Structure 1
Amino acid sequence: MAKTKINYVCTQCGAIQPKWMGKCPDCGSWNTLVENVEAPISRFASSAVPQTAKSTVQKLEQIDSSEEQRYLTQMEELNRVLGGGIVPGSVVLLSGDPGIGKSTLLLQICQTISSDAQILYISGEESLRQIKLRAARLGVTTPNLSLSSTTNIEAVIESIQSLKPDIVMVDSIQTMNLSALNSSSGSVTQVRECTQLLINIAKTMEIPVFIVGHVNKDGAIAGPKVMEHMVDAVLYFEGERNLSYRILRAIKNRYGSTNEIGVFEMGENGLDEVTYPSKAMLEGRPENVSGTCVACVIEGSRPILAEVQALVSKSGYAVPKRMATGFDYNRLSLILAVLEKRCGYFFGTLDAYINVVGGMKLDEPAADLPIALSLVSNLTDKVIPDDLVAFGEIGLAGEMRAVNRVLVRVKEAQRLGFKRCILPKQCIAAISAEVDIQLIGVSTLSQALSAAMA
């Protein structure tokens, strides 16, 4: 019997080291080396995955360039995130916090997919009876759904080869194991090798595969980082379990944009689509309260209006506290510095808190202006009008910088009943169509503050 070998694998870059070190010498990440037990693979032969005698070589002009046939679900939010539907032969990694709705979404896909598609759902975490009970609660009654409860990846491959389903779902990859490897389920080697086998079967048989991946305590997908490079698309569920809204974001997609998001609401019967996220995010807005402003950002192909709240209070510590939920902390520090240096507002001994309502994350620079307006509004206790929306990037000189896709932002604000819009002055020229909303163009942050709290 061959002797096993122990080495250490970096979960970030996949580099192999002969001994454990606190810092990976290849990528520089700290505390990412985990123990890996290697043994020669002898029992699980290559027959598990169909192999061709030689690779197929075609000239570029001989390849069919027609639009690929995609499986469309009845969930438009999911179709948008996937880039227009499920591509045959694609491998999609779905991740998110525990209990956020990953398994629920997969079962609902089974119900909403086309009626003639055969689906194989493989669970390594639940028994068949548990899946049946959850399917009954979600109203999943499709006769084309086949279930299997196993953690053996060889059995999974054999089931796919014998049934030849149209779509395969694996929940989750951390529970799968290859018996030829001595390491336990969820280890770097097991996750990497099991994922590779699923990718091989997906590409060979042109079957789309959904893989559920767990996350670690830092929120990153558990297992080797290289797994994200192996798959075709990585979808991530955002949101808090105690909040109803869930945001599905594509952080990688070979068949579509990575800027698209899908908004869902967790209800008694599973995940419901939120067709108009802006309207849902603004429900229950407080009226005549200082420290709140509406921002308009672009998520993929559509504009979304979100409420930004700020709270400024006297600090009880030598170093004031800064906290941002749904907004970049470093960007908040930059805006506070500009407000102090260029506009004369003092935050040096005050705590500053920023919260984006509804679990949204504002990554776009266009959210700078509403953040600044809400901070000054709460500091001076002056109310920003409820019918006002703002967007614009703030420069270090206190100037307002232009943003893209101005017309769609303004039209979305107009559709939701807003009467005034503060935006960078140079953006007004980009509005070609007539709009029924007052446009207030500003060149500096001081002008924007004066216009908002006049």
Structure 2
Amino acid sequence: MAKVKTKFVCQNCGYVSPRYLGRCPNCSEWNTLVEEVEQKSVTLKASPRVAISGAKTTPQKIDTVTVSKTPRVDTKNGELNRVLGGGVVPGSMVLIGGDPGIGKSTLLLQVSGSLSDQGGKLLYVSGEESASQIKLRADRLDVSGSEFYLYPETDMGSILQNIEDLKPDYVVIDSVQTMQMPEITSAVGSVAQIREVTAALMQVAKTNGITIFIVGHVTKGGAIAGPKILEHMVDTVLYFEGDMHRSYRILRAVKNRFGSTNEIGVFEMRDGGLVEVPNPSEIFLEERLNGATGSAVVVSLEGTRPILAEIQALVTPTAFGNAKRTTTGLDHNRVSLIMAVLEKRAGLLLQNQDAYLKAAGGVKLDEPAIDLAIAMSIVSSYRDQQTAPDDCFIGELGLTGEIRRVTRIDQRVAEAAKLGFKRVFVPQNNLAGFEFPKNIEVVGVKTLSEALRQVF
């Protein structure tokens, strides 16, 4: 009897080692190498793409390829459409990742019902729940459809056969880590299994124009579990973010071949499922206190969507030798840089002050246009003077104290005016060439000192 040959494969990056290593030399992660049986090279053979109809792919001139036959499909979910770039592209693969219990399966079940109601045939494959369990959740979410098929299965051979028999327009795989290729003898969820399962699904999607949604588990670090090639193979990667102690969820695109990678969708988790939040600015500002110091409102851009968020700062004398800087939802290095500029250019003695800053509402802000609002919130707390409740701030702060121009200033100002703000501070160089709403005063400032004189 021939000796079985084994190898050790990193479950994070796919690195292969002939012996066990505590730490992967490639990705430097600990305890990720798992022993797997080596596969013979003849087990899996590459084959040309063949559609369910039997047609084979052939080389085509680019001038003869038309896109009119593949229009985007409206999911009837405005927030998801925004993140996808306008709707579902037929034949695409969409990977959705997120923490356990965040709402990935709920979102896909609701979208599946919507696509089925529009006349599309959908196959919902679950490796984690039985058909009766999915039906219970569907009844709670009021999801149904005459062409909505449930299939609790983990064997990819049976799944591919049923896809060929049903010829669905959409397929949902929940989740890819539970699927198993019969030709692969390694454990379910291993690098080899995930790689081959995804490759088989990609071939089905591209040759038959079937849109496939894949649910992916995430690691403790927040990354999608499995090899990085999983994210490279799919067309769109979406991350479902949110705090388990809050009802709001943010769907963020980190890769999208058919749209912007900066778009976000905001949802609220309720008893009846996920509900769209078309105006998240009101949510982020609804609990703002009038008369509170250390608060400033910024108009930030997430993709093409302007969002008003409150930045809060608490500056107190330090009880230790070194001042402490703590941030939530803001970049720590950006805050330290702005505090250094305030100390040098505005004359604030902050080296003996602890500073605690956060973006209220659980939103994460990371763009240059929030600099001016961060500076104003710090100064407001340090001087114990409030900013006007109907003021908001837009601008990037340079190291010499200048306020630098930002992009899409007209959309930002229009959003602030829509929510009732009376005055907005913007970079002086952004004023030329734009017509702003009449119900809001637009104040152009060149330097940080000029802005401080007009606000306080």
TM-score range, shorter chain: over 0.9
Supply the distance in 1 between the matched residues of 2:450 and 2:230 (Cα, whole angstroms): 49
Alignment of 1:296-375 (within 5 A): 296-375=299-378
Hey, what does 2:393 align to over in structure 1? Answer: 390
* Mapped pair 1:16 → 2:34: no
Cα deviation, residue 148, structure 1: 1.2
Supply the distance in 2 between the matched residues of 1:432 and 1:22 (Cα, whole angstroms): 62
Supply the distance in 2 between the matched residues of 1:392 and 1:268 (Cα, whole angstroms): 40
Q: Normalising by the residue count of structure 2, what TM-score does the alignment of the two structures yield?
A: 0.93
Cα deviation, residue 352, structure 1: 1.5
* Mapped pair 1:102 → 2:89: no
Supply the distance in 2 between the matched residues of 1:322 and 1:222 (Cα, whole angstroms): 32
Residues 343 and 19 of structure 1, relative CA distance in 2, 3 Å threshold: farther
Hey, what does 2:289 align to over in structure 1? Answer: 286
Supply the distance in 2 between the matched residues of 1:219 and 1:317 (Cα, whole angstroms): 34
The aligned amino acid for 1:8 is V
Supply the distance in 1 between the matched residues of 2:335 and 2:304 (Cα, whole angstroms): 26
Residues 411 and 319 of structure 1, relative CA distance in 2, 3 Å threshold: same
Supply the distance in 1 between the matched residues of 2:244 and 2:376 (Cα, whole angstroms): 30
Cα deviation, residue 206, structure 1: 1.2
Given that residues 410 and 434 in structure 2 are in contact (C-alpha distance below 8 angstroms), is that contact kept between their aligned partners in structure 1?
yes
Given that residues 71 and 85 in structure 1 are in contact (C-alpha distance below 8 angstroms), is that contact kept between their aligned partners in structure 2?
yes
- Encode CA deviations 1:144-180: one digit per residue, 9 max, x unaligned: 2111112222222122111111100011111112233
Supply the distance in 2 between the matched residues of 1:235 and 1:133 (Cα, whole angstroms): 26
Supply the distance in 2 between the matched residues of 1:67 and 1:364 (Cα, whole angstroms): 38
Supply the distance in 2 between the matched residues of 1:104 and 1:280 (Cα, whole angstroms): 22
Which residue of the other structure, out of 116, 126, 129, is the alignment partner of 1:126? 129
Cα deviation, residue 66, structure 1: 3.1
Cα deviation, residue 15, structure 1: 4.3
Supply the distance in 2 between the matched residues of 1:230 and 1:425 (Cα, whole angstroms): 45
Hey, what does 2:62 align to over in structure 1? Answer: 60
- Encode CA deviations 1:16-49: one digit per residue, 9 max, x unaligned: 34445576656x6454852352323777777998
Structure 1 gap ranges (5+): none
Which residue of the other structure, out of 171, 177, 181, is the alignment partner of 1:178? 181
SS of aligned partner of 1:227: helix
Cα deviation, residue 270, structure 1: 0.7
Supply the distance in 2 between the matched residues of 1:48 and 1:54 (Cα, whole angstroms): 7
Hey, what does 1:407 align to over in structure 2? Answer: 410
Supply the distance in 1 between the matched residues of 2:323 and 2:100 (Cα, whole angstroms): 33
Supply the distance in 1 between the matched residues of 2:81 and 2:50 (Cα, whole angstroms): 30
39-48 vs 2-11, which moves further: 39-48
Hey, what does 1:81 align to over in structure 2? Answer: 83
Cα deviation, residue 445, structure 1: 1.3
Residues 143 and 48 of structure 1, relative CA distance in 2, 3 Å threshold: farther
How many residues align structurally? 451
336-345 vs 15-24, which moves further: 15-24
The aligned amino acid for 1:378 is S
* Mapped pair 1:418 → 2:417: no
The aligned amino acid for 1:103 is S
Q: Normalising by the residue count of structure 1, what TM-score does the alignment of the two structures yield?
A: 0.93
SS of aligned partner of 1:319: coil
Residues 418 and 185 of structure 1, relative CA distance in 2, 3 Å threshold: same
Given that residues 115 and 144 in structure 1 are in contact (C-alpha distance below 8 angstroms), is that contact kept between their aligned partners in structure 2?
no
Hey, what does 1:275 align to over in structure 2? Answer: 278
SS of aligned partner of 1:429: coil
Supply the distance in 2 between the matched residues of 1:132 and 1:197 (Cα, whole angstroms): 27
Percent identity between the aligned chains? Answer: 49
Cα deviation, residue 367, structure 1: 0.7
* Mapped pair 1:35 → 2:34: yes
Which residue of the other structure, out of 226, 246, 254, is the alignment partner of 2:229? 226
- Encode CA deviations 1:223-267: one digit per residue, 9 max, x unaligned: 111111110000111211211111111100011111211111111
383-392 vs 59-68, which moves further: 59-68
Given that residues 2 and 39 in structure 1 are in contact (C-alpha distance below 8 angstroms), is that contact kept between their aligned partners in structure 2?
no
SS of aligned partner of 1:142: coil
Given that residues 11 and 226 in structure 2 are in contact (C-alpha distance below 8 angstroms), is that contact kept between their aligned partners in structure 1?
no
Given that residues 312 and 352 in structure 1 are in contact (C-alpha distance below 8 angstroms), is that contact kept between their aligned partners in structure 2?
yes
Across the aligned residues of Structure 1 and Structure 2, the Cα RMSD in angstroms comes to 2.3
Supply the distance in 1 between the matched residues of 2:206 and 2:323 (Cα, whole angstroms): 54
Cα deviation, residue 350, structure 1: 2.5
Residues 232 and 425 of structure 1, relative CA distance in 2, 3 Å threshold: same
Supply the distance in 2 between the matched residues of 1:23 and 1:334 (Cα, whole angstroms): 35
Hey, what does 2:203 align to over in structure 1? Answer: 200
The aligned amino acid for 2:108 is L
Given that residues 49 and 56 in structure 2 are in contact (C-alpha distance below 8 angstroms), is that contact kept between their aligned partners in structure 1?
no
Supply the distance in 1 between the matched residues of 2:371 and 2:404 (Cα, whole angstroms): 10
* Mapped pair 1:215 → 2:218: yes
Cα deviation, residue 55, structure 1: 4.2
Residues 202 and 4 of structure 1, relative CA distance in 2, 3 Å threshold: farther
Given that residues 414 and 436 in structure 2 are in contact (C-alpha distance below 8 angstroms), is that contact kept between their aligned partners in structure 1?
no
The aligned amino acid for 1:311 is L
- Encode CA deviations 1:366-413: one digit per residue, 9 max, x unaligned: 011111111111121111111001010011111111101111111111
Given that residues 8 and 19 in structure 1 are in contact (C-alpha distance below 8 angstroms), is that contact kept between their aligned partners in structure 2?
no
SS of aligned partner of 1:89: coil
Given that residues 219 and 225 in structure 2 are in contact (C-alpha distance below 8 angstroms), is that contact kept between their aligned partners in structure 1?
yes
Supply the distance in 2 between the matched residues of 1:191 and 1:133 (Cα, whole angstroms): 29
